Amino acid sequence: MFFLQTNGPSVSTVLLLGTAGMVVLVVSIIIFLIMHQRRVLRFQNRIAQMEQEQQKILLNASIKLQEEERQRLAADLHDDAGPLLATARLYLNENLVNQDKATQLQAIFQARQIIDDTIQLVRNISHSLMPPTLKNFGLESAINDLFQKISGSGTINASSRFHEYKERLKEEKELIIFRVVQELINNILKHSNSSFIHLTQNVHADKFYLRIHHDGRGIVQSDFDKLNKSNIGLGLKNISSRMRLVQGNINFEKDISQTYYKVTIELPKDEPYQ
């Protein structure tokens, strides 16, 4: 305060220097705020843009997958159901009335056999679109059924175990999770060359978990992220978009023992449990 108590010029100097300091300080603060906020906004915009691009890739993947599914359906109907029905029609032509009774019976029997095969074929197509076990008995039964079928083929040992599944998830969520599991199993069967697949389900700290272990070749999270951003790996992109739909996470990693690959599906418990 001694500085302030001296006469005229000293106070003027303090006044001018202090005010100049204040002006510089305020202007610097304002410029800093503007620049900093611009940088933050630019960063946010870049993230939003990247997210948009990612969504576009996922959308394209899902459209492509849908088209592939339609093509498969069209091929099944055209190549299998079409010829079967055409054959049945041949057996049941107008000349049949002019044939003797034994031939007529033979033709009707053949046609019936073909129609039965066609019914079975249509049923199979329908089941591949929406498994009846999933609709009627839930995710646990559908996954157990799927694993039994895989195990039944004798090429791979597949098992599943649900520890805490007293209440079913919402129907559409069950279907989404089932499709994700189907896609993962499909990939494991196709690419991993593993000798076993094991699925476990449990609930921990408000989260619903599904874990798949296998002993073949697999991918880790960084591979999954890379494939998700690239133009290949349609199935994985589809898994990503499905997981996003149920607000869940999927994590690919190697087991602690570094022997097995582990895929973890995580869902918020409060939302699906209605």
The answer to whether residues 242 and 179 touch, using CB atoms and an 8 Å cutoff, is yes
Binding mask 41-60 for another protein (x = CB under 8 A): x--xx---------------
The piece of 34-42, 79-87, 118-126, 160-168 that touches another protein (CB under 8 A) is: 34-42
Quick check: 3 binds another protein (CB under 8 A)? no
Q: Which is nearer to another protein, 38 or 70 (CB)?
A: 38
The verdict on 18 binding another protein (CB under 8 A) reads yes
**Stretch in the footprint of another protein (CB under 8 A) among 14-22, 108-116, 141-149, 164-172:** 14-22
Q: Which of 28, 39, 40, 223 binds another protein (CB under 8 A)?
A: 40
Q: How many other β-carbons are positioned within 10 Å of the β-carbon of residue 227?
A: 17
Rounded Cα gap, residues 170 and 214, in angstroms: 28
To another protein, the closest distance from the beta carbon of 129 in angstroms equals: 38
CB of 53 to another protein, least distance (A): 18
Identify whether the C-beta of residue 262 lies closer than 8 Å to the C-beta of residue 211: yes
Does 31 engage in binding with another protein (CB under 8 A)? Answer: no
Q: What is the DSSP letter of 169?
A: P
User: Based on CB atoms, which residue is closest to another protein, 49 or 148?
Assistant: 49
* CA 197 to mean position of chain CA atoms: 19
Q: Is 148 in the site for another protein (CB under 8 A)?
A: no
Nearest residue (CB) to another protein, 29 versus 75: 29
- Residue 254 structure tokens: 């190697």
SS (H, E, C) 40-101: HHHHHHHHHHHHHHHHHHHHHHHHHHHHHHHHHHHHHHHHHHHHHHHHHHHHCCHHHHHCCH
Among 28, 33, 89, 130, binds another protein (CB under 8 A): 33
Does residue 106 interact with another protein by CB under 8 A?
no
Q: Output the smallest distance, CB 257 to another protein, in A.
A: 44
Nearer residue to another protein within complex by CB, 41 or 50: 41
How far is residue 59 CA from its own chain's centroid? 12
Number of helices (H), then strands (E), in the chain: 9, 5
Tokens of 24: 């510089």
DSSP-derived 3-state class of residue 242: helix
Q: Does 231 bind another protein (CB under 8 A)?
A: no
Stretch that binds another protein, among 29-37, 128-136, 187-195, 260-268 (CB under 8 A): 29-37
Residue 35, amino acid? M
* Closest C-alpha among 139, 189, 129 to residue 160: 139
Work out whether 195 is an interface residue with another protein (CB under 8 A).
no
Displacement of CA 49 from its chain's centroid (Å): 22
The reply to whether 8 sits near another protein by the rule CB under 8 A is yes
Site residues, another protein (CB under 8 A): 4-5, 7-9, 11-12, 14-16, 18-19, 22-23, 25-26, 29-30, 33-34, 37-38, 40-41, 44-45
